[in-house]
Amino acid sequence: MTTSGAPAAEAARLLMPDYLVDAVASPALGYRDGPSQCPLDAVEFYVPPYLGSPDALTVLDHMPRLRVVQLLTAGFEDALAAVPAGVRLCNAAGVHDASTAELAVGLMIASLRGIDAFARAMPTGRWLPDRHRALADSSVLVIGAGGVGRAIAARTGAFEARVTLVGRTARPGVRGVDELPRLLGAADVVVLAVPLDDSTRGMVDAAFLRRLPDAALVVNVARGAVVDTEALLAETASGRLCAALDVTDPEPLPPEHGLWQVPNVLITPHVGGNSSAFLPRARALVAQQVRRFVTGEEPANTVGWGR
C-alpha cells in the first residue's frame, strides 16, 4: 500500500491495498490515476490491509477528510475505538462466510472422526483403527445467526446432522440465546460464530461448559475472548470435553500454554477467513462500496461511527 507520490486527482480520495486497486480502477469511476497512490491528507475512503499490522489504524488520525473506513474483516471490535468522530465504519460481512464455515465443518469432522489423532500418530507409524463419532446424526448447536453462523448451519445440515441455530433473539428458524441453558444439555457439538462484544465476551464460561454432556465438542471460529480459556482448559484436560479452536485467548497462543498439550484439543492459527476464497469476495465488496461512495449512496455493512 502506497501513501505518497500521488498526483492531485480524484484518485487521491481512495487508499487501499494494492491487490484491490484494479477492482475499482475504472475510468467510469474517475480513478484512472490509481487509488493506492494517495497522500494521507486527501483520503476520504480507506481500506486497511487484511491481516495487516495494528499500525494500519494509527494513520486514521492523519486523514482529516476521511469519511469511510472499510474493513476486510467481519470482526470490528478493535477498529471501532480507533475511528475518528463522524467517520463511518463498515465491515466485510459476507466476505468470510464460506471460508469460515468450511473450516468450521472441517474442524468438526477432524475432531469427531479422530483425524487429528491419526495425524499425530503418523511420525511413529502407529496404525490406530478405531470407531469414531460421525457428524451425521449429531446434535449441533450453532451459536451466532449472522452470515457465518447461517453458512455453518447450512453446510453442517448437508452432513445429516441435526442443527439448531441460536441468535440474540428468537425468530423463525432461530432459537433465542436465553434458551441456551436448556439447549446445551443435548448438544454433541457447539459451534461459536458470534461477534465479540460486551454480551459475548466470556460467555462460554465454566457454567456454560458444565451444562454440556460428556464428550461434547466445542468449536470456536468466532473470537478467542468469547471463551474463558482457563475453564476450557480444565474441562478438556480432564478429558470430559473436546475442543477445536481457530481462535484463542491469548492469541497467538504462547508455546508453553497448556492447551497445546491436551490430546483432545485441535488448534488452527486463526485461518478461518484466510483462504483462496478471500480475494475475489473482498474485491467484489470493495468495488461495490466504492461505487456507492462515488454515487452518494449509503455504503452497506455499516457497523458503527467514530466517536
For residue range 55-101, list pLDDT tens digits in order.
Answer: 788 889 999 999 999 999 998 888 888 999 999 999 999 999 999 99
Model pLDDT, residue 27: 54
Whether 77 is catalytic is: no
**β partners of residue 147:** none
- Does residue 33 surpass a pLDDT of 50? no
Out of 270, 291, 297, 307, the active site residue is 270
Quick one: pLDDT band at residue 42, thresholds 50, 70, 90? Answer: confident
Quick one: pLDDT band at residue 306, thresholds 50, 70, 90? Answer: confident
CATH architecture of 97-267: 3-Layer(aba) Sandwich (3.40)
Q: Among residues of the chain, what percentage have pLDDT more than 70?
A: 91
- Does residue 37 surpass a pLDDT of 90? no
CA distance 50 to 44: 19
Same fold, 10-95+276-305 and 97-267: yes
Closest CA to 101 of 90, 113, 109: 109
Average pLDDT over residues 113-124: 96
Question: Among all chains, which residue has been given the C-alpha cell 449512496?
Answer: 297
CA distance 302 to 172: 25
Domain limits, the chain: 10-95+276-305, 97-267
Out of 223, 235, 256, 297, the active site residue is 223
CA atoms in the 13 A half-sphere facing the CB of 214: 3
Average pLDDT over residues 155-163: 98
Model pLDDT, residue 153: 98
CA distance 116 to 265: 9
Average pLDDT over residues 121-147: 96
C-alpha cell at 135: 457428524
Whether 223 is catalytic is: yes
CA distance 259 to 247: 12
Model pLDDT, residue 12: 53
How is domain 10-95+276-305 classified at the CATH fold level? Rossmann fold (3.40.50)
Whether 133 is catalytic is: no
